[in-house]
Structure 1
Amino acid sequence: MPLVPGSSPIIPGIAYACSLYIVLIMTVMCLIMYSRQRKKAYLYMVFAFLFIIAYEGMNIHYLSKGNTLSSSTLWSTRLQVFSFLLLNTSVYLLYKKITKRGYALLGFMLLLFLVPLFLTNYTPLNITSGQLFYLNIYQGIVIIVGLCLITPRIGQPIKYIIGSVISLIGVILSIIFLYADHINATLNTIHLLLPLLYYTVIFIILFQRIVEQMQSIYRSSITDGLTNLYNRRFFMKQVKRYVDQGLKVSVIFCDIDNFKKLNDTQGHARADQVLKQVADIIDEEVSGVGLSGRYGGEELVAALVDKRAKVNIIAENIRSRVEQESIVTISVGHSSLRKNVSVDELVSQADQAMYRSKTTGKNKVSPFHLPSSRKETTRQKEASAEL
């Protein structure tokens, strides 16, 4: 915001110092994120923050010299308005890529910003007050354009609107103070604190977006890209954690019947669609009582940890829904944790039970039973090896 004449040096000094501190923190955050992701939004923000640091530094220097309008106030305002344009652009880039039409609009806005530099020999832009007035009007235009074009396209519209309103109030007060004979002390204090409030809002927007991106990166590292279920590694890790906590864990192992034939006859796209549909059914059935994952290929698994959950009922619900809601059927096996059984053995038991369903007619649910003879043990080991 442009510096207002007639203000006490204490309040603006505190406001400028706090603003610099917040901007420096955001600059470091953006540099770290850009070094990791190479996202243009963070680079744009760094440039915007550097301009902000420059004009806030000019304001602090100017404050120590006196508080009247001069050419130094004009240059600090130019830096402030240009950084405001860059900052709005970078907020948009946090969520979207700029199209050719967007770059054309940005170029037009830059030309508007440069107009006073080419018209310094003409009134009213040949005097400081006239150029300050133009810059304030220009910033108001940037705010309106941002509200119309940026707000509906980003993930934090309410915060962006709040920041825009704060900026708009600052623009209005700057214009009033520019030509007012007397400045109200309360309004002057509010005006000086508005940039600090605006940077705080930008900090919240930036911080939340970084958190969202970190969560997205983490989520992609533990989930399967096609089904959006947990991947095998994370699923096994979570089941082990449940076992270590002493929870009663049951595992359901599902395999889509005749999936290779579906791939060969209807294509991979159709097969992927079916696989995702089956995964959604499994995820819905175990939601709230456990977690689901993709074990590999067309093999999908679920782990139940809720004592109230009946593994046989949920397994049958999954099988029944897949048969009714999709074009395929599934063979299902399940096993519950017993004493001295490891996580790998638990999953293997559910796998063996699924194989029994697969080899005895498909489209059925089979529980795991401990082998009653050496012959049965050998058969299950061979079946597991074949899978």
Structure 2
Amino acid sequence: MSYELSYWSTSPLPAIFAVCGAYIALMMLMMCLFMYSKQRKSAYIYMAAAFFFIMTYEGLNIHSAWTGLPVFAAEPDILRDIQLFSFVLLNISVVMLYRKIKTMHYWLPLLSVALLMLPLMLSSFLPFTLDPIWKKIYLEGFQLIAVYLAFTKVTPHIGQPIKYALGLTVYVLWLILQAIHTYSIALSPTLQALALSLPVIFYSVVCFILFIRIVELMQSIYRSAITDGLTGLFNRRHFMKLLDHYASQELKISAIFCDIDNFKKLNDTQGHAKADEVLKQVSRIMEEELDGIGITGRYGGEELVALVVDRRIKPAQVAENIRARVAEETIVTISIGYSVLRKGVRGDELMKQADKAMYQSKTTGKNKVSDYRSLRNVSTEPAESIG
């Protein structure tokens, strides 16, 4: 907020709001630098630079508010230049949070600096002195173009357009009040207080947007670490981790092991794209059948697994539902085996039992469901079930 507008010299509000703005900028600067150290995303550097200039701008305003003296008496527009440049950087960084930008756009900060310094450079080279009013008109024009581009080029291309549009609206309201006070009439005390608070509100909106985006990115990173990229099911490592967790509590759970029949032939005859499509179809069916009663995972290749954790549900029925739907809704069939956890059996052993049952289905005709207890070697396994 530009305190060249001559707000109350005796009021503490200019200094208070400037301190609030500087504090928010400092916190955002530290957050952006921390995130850059973790992810090396260029957007964080651009936003850190934007908040550095905002912090500088507000720091100079604090000095002016406390001393009552202009910081740049010879060039009063320099403070405005800092504010405008920080606004440009902030908009570029917000776009970069959500999408990659063209290489040419990286030159926008340098172009902005050149345009903002143009009046100063002209004053140095021209044989006569420019009227200060022309400098103000030039900066107002720059500001209008920057705001227009923010609404038309930034807001539609980010993940939180409504929130950012509201923030920009707050920013525009501040500019309007600033212009009224400068070129028309003095604002009332209430409007002066509102004008002082608006930049802080705008910074807070940007802070909120950054926080939400960081949470989204963290969730995306975590999700990609525990799921299979093709099917969206849990990957083998995370699935087995969950299985071990349930097994260690000796809950009544059941493991289901599925293998798509003749999948290699499908790959060879119809190509990987078709095979991937079928794999995703089968995965979707399994997710739907296990929804609310268990979890699903991709064990490897065409092998898909599931864990029934609801003790009221019969695993045989779940397995049969999966088999029937795959045969009816896709171009492939599926061989399935399942096993119920018994005392003394670890998670990895339970999965091996389900795998053996699946192999029994595979070698005795395919497109069928087998219970591990039906195998001949079941007599070597503990007989007591967990209640």
Match of 1:153 in 2: 157
Match of 1:85 in 2: 88
1:18 paired to 2:29: no
Match of 1:382 in 2: none
1-structure distance, mates of 2:242, 2:360? 26
TM-score, normalised via structure 1 length: 0.89
1:302/1:63 CA distance change after superposition, 3 Å: same
Match of 2:225 in 1: 221
Give per-residue Cα distances to partners, 1:323-382, cap 9 Å, x unaligned: 1222211101112222222111211111111111111110111122065558x769xxxx
The letter for the 1-side match of 2:91 is N
Match of 2:306 in 1: 302
Match of 2:282 in 1: 278
1:181/1:365 CA distance change after superposition, 3 Å: same
Indicate which of 83, 97, 103 corresponds to 2:100.
Answer: 97
* 1:62-81 matches, cutoff 5 A: 62-66=64-68, 70-71=73-74, 73-81=76-84
Contact 1:119 1:126 in 2 (8 A): no
Contact 1:254 1:333 in 2 (8 A): yes
1-structure distance, mates of 2:11, 2:31? 30
Match of 1:6 in 2: 7
Match of 1:212 in 2: 216
2-structure distance, mates of 1:377, 1:370? 12
Measure how far apart 1:273 and its partner are.
2.2
Match of 1:172 in 2: 176
Contact 1:58 1:72 in 2 (8 A): no
Match of 1:189 in 2: 193
1:262 paired to 2:263: no
1:152/1:125 CA distance change after superposition, 3 Å: farther
Contact 1:292 1:302 in 2 (8 A): yes
Give per-residue Cα distances to partners, 1:7-49, cap 9 Å, x unaligned: 3541111111111111111111111111222211111111111
Which stretch has the larger CA shift, 170-179 or 85-94?
Answer: 170-179
* Structure 1 SS opposite 2:252: coil
* Structure 1 SS opposite 2:98: coil
The letter for the 1-side match of 2:284 is D
Give per-residue Cα distances to partners, 1:153-194, cap 9 Å, x unaligned: 111112111111111111111111112342211111111111
Measure how far apart 1:282 and its partner are.
1.2
1-structure distance, mates of 2:130, 2:89? 24
Match of 2:59 in 1: 57
Contact 1:290 1:306 in 2 (8 A): yes
* Structure 2 SS opposite 1:369: helix
2-structure distance, mates of 1:372, 1:104? 73
1-structure distance, mates of 2:179, 2:263? 70
1:75/1:256 CA distance change after superposition, 3 Å: same
Which stretch has the larger CA shift, 215-224 or 110-119?
Answer: 110-119
The letter for the 2-side match of 1:126 is D
Match of 1:385 in 2: none
RMSD of the alignment, in Å? 2.6
2-structure distance, mates of 1:340, 1:305? 18
The letter for the 2-side match of 1:41 is A
The letter for the 1-side match of 2:95 is Y
State how many pairs are aligned: 376
TM-score, normalised via structure 2 length: 0.89
1:138 paired to 2:146: no
1-structure distance, mates of 2:127, 2:312? 81
* Structure 1 SS opposite 2:287: helix
1:289/1:125 CA distance change after superposition, 3 Å: farther
Give per-residue Cα distances to partners, 1:216-252, cap 9 Å, x unaligned: 1111111112212111110011122223345321111
1:122/1:178 CA distance change after superposition, 3 Å: farther
- Give % identity: 51
Contact 1:292 1:303 in 2 (8 A): yes
1-structure distance, mates of 2:106, 2:377? 75
* Structure 2 SS opposite 1:150: helix
Contact 1:371 1:377 in 2 (8 A): no
2-structure distance, mates of 1:239, 1:255? 19
Measure how far apart 1:278 and its partner are.
1.4
Contact 1:140 1:168 in 2 (8 A): no
Which stretch has the larger CA shift, 223-232 or 130-139?
Answer: 130-139
Match of 1:353 in 2: 357
The letter for the 2-side match of 1:38 is R
* Structure 2 SS opposite 1:166: helix
Match of 2:297 in 1: 293
1:122/1:86 CA distance change after superposition, 3 Å: farther
* Structure 2 SS opposite 1:226: coil
1:183/1:270 CA distance change after superposition, 3 Å: same
1:237/1:330 CA distance change after superposition, 3 Å: same
Contact 2:171 2:198 in 1 (8 A): yes
The letter for the 1-side match of 2:23 is Y
